[in-house]
Chains A and B, each alone.
Chain A
Amino acid sequence: MEKSLRIKGAESVLNLEPNSSIAIGYHALFGSHDDLMILEIDEKLLPDILHERVALRGQPDEDSVLCTPSKTYAIKFVGNSNSPFLIPPSGQFPLCENPQDFDGEVHGFAPVIKVAPGNMELVEVAPKLDKLKLLLSKNPYGYEDVLEMDFMEDVEKNKARLYSWDDLVGRVQASDEELRNGLWALSAVEIDGFWRIVDEKYMDMILRMLLHNSVLNDWSLDALQEDDVVSVLVSDGFPEKLASHCLHVYGSKVDGDVGRSCVWRLDESRVCVHFARQILSTGKQKMETFMAEWLQRIPGGMQISFDMLEGEILTEKLGVETWVYSFSVSSLPLTPAERFNMLFRERSKWEWKDLQPYIRDLKVPGLSSEGLLLKYTRRSQPILDADPVFSSR
């Protein structure tokens, strides 16, 4: 009884009075305890961890990352050549039944459970969203999916290639918020519990039908009633979910709407870019031909502008003629090294005004956009006052 009272823990070490002492020794359960890990964290992450809002994510073949609700952190192991003796508070590990007999003058005994060979540290990183794109683009939602609705067997067969939110969380190394933003950036939609990218041809069908309906029903593209739009599209044979998804992708909600139905305004730029992409999906075109066709395809009342196509198309001069072709930033990798690799494979030299739309979305924690350019490009300026040209390192 008396003996066990003298077995103390971390609190006795922390509260040691001046001019007093405590024995430090090995715990009866001292060992390598590989299941005990030390993680250094920023004070600001502490509430998230203590309130269980944090998880490690990754497949067995990936380096796992730690995700808070909004950020992703790589985990680095940092070794320590010193000997940090870990002393738990009393009572956390079963007490030794037969502690070595220490002299009565010792005021207590604080047992060491483990010598930590080092600790883990967190480094904020960009979410690994390329994998999200890869997973979802394997099986985009298209017209076949609508037809297959009647054949449950086929749906079952395809199920393995579809991903629910929980499947994605287990496979994509990103925080919940980053994953949601990633899905939004891909214009993905949750259909029957699975997140899908919608095939561009199918989206084109819905959008053209929506524009067609708006002409027939005399709707204003600046004030589309969601209920009306969706019910008419459903009667045209499109699933309700996809009909409202079309409004989300090409429009934005108008604030201050009255009544129960939401009001949407179609976004001029997004609609026009969509038609430009459609035109160029078959290959490159002469500038004049492209502009004429683009102007003809867009809905009445909308204005085209070449600036809309930043990050979507590139132009090249062949002889006296200028050609345009599709080169969309959304088709490029999100990791900087791979992004620059693809960019320099497309063109060996980039002017700043061309390059900027293709790298402005890159975000690397701890690295500014100037830092990115320094790291991945070589900047040259043929003449003083000339625009700088960027080439591969």
Chain B
Amino acid sequence: MQIQVKCSCGAENCREWVVVELQGTVELNPSCFQTHLQNLQIGQLCRLSSSSQESYTFTVGYHELTGSRVTLKKPLLVLKKVKGFMDVDESDDNKGDLPSSKVELDVIGIIRHKILFKTRPKALISSKLIQEHVAVLWFAHVNTRKKEVGIALMENCVEGCLLLLFSWPFGFFLMLKSVEFVAIET
């Protein structure tokens, strides 16, 4: 049997898809009540300003990946299997072939670029970036004798807190100004 490769998008204007590629896999947090991946946000893709090389960050949860845009050496085609119906006279003496249904492959897109993140994720504890839709306030409690860092997380910070200054008995300062955030560690 023969499976024809069609291109319904028309030869010259095949639409371009893009791939965002990460090392490893992204898992749904088991403690999350969400059971469907659909419509869930994975992360925030940000193109950096650095001029020549196109570099990007991808923030997934409290982790940040750094990567770059790669032009593929060979393009990738996105093919979709389409089931059609065979004309009556075509199925006549093709006893050995698959009956009734005729499969076609349709080229529905072409991929020429991917944004590749091949580094290990970097934890965002001392980063400036903060998740925009969940205002998160981090309290760093450092036990200097045990060298342990305890992190408390408080969600839904009051909108009005533009400037907070905490004076810690051990001499730590934590400043939070709007969504910008500075942690000072020893």
Contact = CB atoms under 8 A, between A and B. Distances in A.
B127 to A, nearest CB: 14
Best-buried of B51, B78, B97, B114 by chain A (most CB within 10 Å): B78
Nearest to A61: B96
Interface string A1-24: 000000000110110111111111
Interface stretch (A101-109, A291-299, A333-341, A342-350): A101-109
A54 interface: yes
Interface in A65-111: 66, 81-89, 92, 96, 98-100, 102-103, 105-106, 109-110
Contacts, number: 204
Nearest to B24: A83
Nearest to A87: B18
B2 A55 contact: yes
A82 B24 CA distance: 5
A83 B81 contact: no
Nearest to B16: A10
Given A37-B79, A39-B76, A82 B22 contact: yes
Given A24-B58, A50-B107, A37 B4 contact: no
Best-buried of B16, B26, B42, B48 by chain A (most CB within 10 Å): B42
SS class, residues of chain A in contact with chain B: mixed
A159 interface: yes
Contact of A49 (B20, B49, B74, B107): B107
A58 B98 CA distance: 11
B17 A88 contact: yes
Given A14-B18, A38-B78, A24 B1 contact: no
Contacts of A167: 93-94
B85 to A, nearest CB: 17
Given A28-B39, A55-B3, A50 B12 contact: yes
SS class, residues of chain B in contact with chain A: strand
A109 B44 CA distance: 9
B156 interface: no
A84 B47 contact: no
Interface in B91-120: 93-98, 105, 107-109, 111, 113-115
A96 B38 CA distance: 9
B93 to A, nearest CB: 7
A39 B37 contact: no
B107 A30 contact: no
A40 interface: yes
A24 B41 contact: yes
Q: Give the size range of B's interface with the partner.
A: 35 or more
A84 B18 contact: no
A56 interface: yes
A88 B38 CA distance: 15
A160 interface: yes
Contact of A87 (B19, B25, B56): B19
Contacts of A37: 78-81, 105
Nearest to A42: B74
Contacts of A55: 2-5
Nearest to A96: B39
17 contacts: A13-B20, A14-B113, A17-B47, A24-B45, A26-B39, A30-B37, A35-B80, A43-B74, A47-B11, A58-B1, A59-B97, A82-B21, A82-B22, A86-B17, A88-B17, A160-B93, A167-B94
Interface of B: 1-7, 11-12, 14-26, 37-51, 56, 58, 74-82, 93-98, 105, 107-109, 111, 113-115, 132-133
Given A36-B79, A89-B15, 13 more contacts: A14-B16, A16-B47, A19-B47, A39-B77, A39-B79, A41-B74, A49-B5, A51-B11, A84-B19, A85-B19, A160-B93, A167-B93, A170-B1
